[in-house]
């Protein structure tokens, strides 16, 4: 299948022009597009960076971790809403929208699912959901809002994930049950974080 790539600037309240289209994110997006889906890969930290993605090294990781808790929660949600709206405006979009992501992107896919236009979300090793530490002030409401999810959600974690320990995964699973969310929850034996290539 021929995969066509394009870029679209979407105006946000925070402005900026940064990119999170790192090598792994680009490969993940192309893999999904290769199955015939339209893929939107928004920049998570456009408020803080230039047009180049953060590097996969210690300074890049440190910057990403700092931006993750500097960005306002409302700005993450605005990015999601604008991305979904941009996707739905495409003439080739059939109106069915899903969300997926890994690590921070897994958490953001979880939050995307609060939008009733999202039919399903697949969240790979979603970080910070159990600890409520996403965004400025590190007091996100993701688990509290889990009942807002009207579509289906799939959570995939590694059983050896030190960022989301067993008690954190149990909290997420229990909360999804209590809120009546339609979900599947998978824990990959022996897997830590960033295991996507093994799945």
Q: Euclidean distance between the first and final Cα of the chain, in Å?
A: 22
Question: What pLDDT does 198 receive?
Answer: 42
Q: Is the pTM of this model over 0.85?
A: yes
- Measured between alpha carbons, how far is 132 from 108 in angstroms, rounded to an integer? 13
Dihedral over Cα of 85, 197, 48, 149: its sign: positive
The string of pLDDT tens digits covering residues 70-117 is: 999 999 999 999 999 999 999 999 999 999 999 999 999 999 999 999
- Measured between alpha carbons, how far is 49 from 43 in angstroms, rounded to an integer? 10
* Token representation of residue 197: 């290539």
């Amino acid at each position: 299948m021929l995969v066509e790539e394009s870029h679209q600037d979407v105006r946000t309240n925070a402005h900026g022009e940064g990119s999170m289209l790192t090598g792994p994110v680009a490969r993940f997006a192309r893999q999904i597009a290769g199955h015939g889906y339209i893929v939107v890969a928004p920049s998570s930290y456009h408020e803080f960076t230039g047009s180049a993605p953060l590097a996969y090294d210690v300074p890049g990781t440190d910057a990403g971790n700092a931006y993750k808790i500097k960005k306002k929660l409302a700005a993450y949600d605005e990015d999601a809403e604008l991305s979904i709206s941009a996707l739905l405006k495409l003439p080739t979009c059939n109106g069915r929208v899903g969300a997926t992501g890994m690590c921070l992107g897994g958490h953001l896919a979880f939050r995307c699912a609060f939008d009733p236009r999202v039919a399903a979300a697949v969240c790979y090793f979603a970080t910070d959901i159990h600890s409520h530490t996403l965004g400025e002030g590190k007091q996100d409401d993701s688990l509290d809002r889990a009942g807002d999810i009207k579509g289906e959600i799939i959570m995939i974690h590694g059983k050896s994930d030190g960022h989301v320990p067993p008690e954190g995964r149990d909290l997420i699973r229990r909360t999804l049950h209590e809120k009546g969310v339609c979900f599947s929850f998978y824990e990959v034996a022996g897997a830590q974080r960033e295991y996507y290539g093994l799945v």
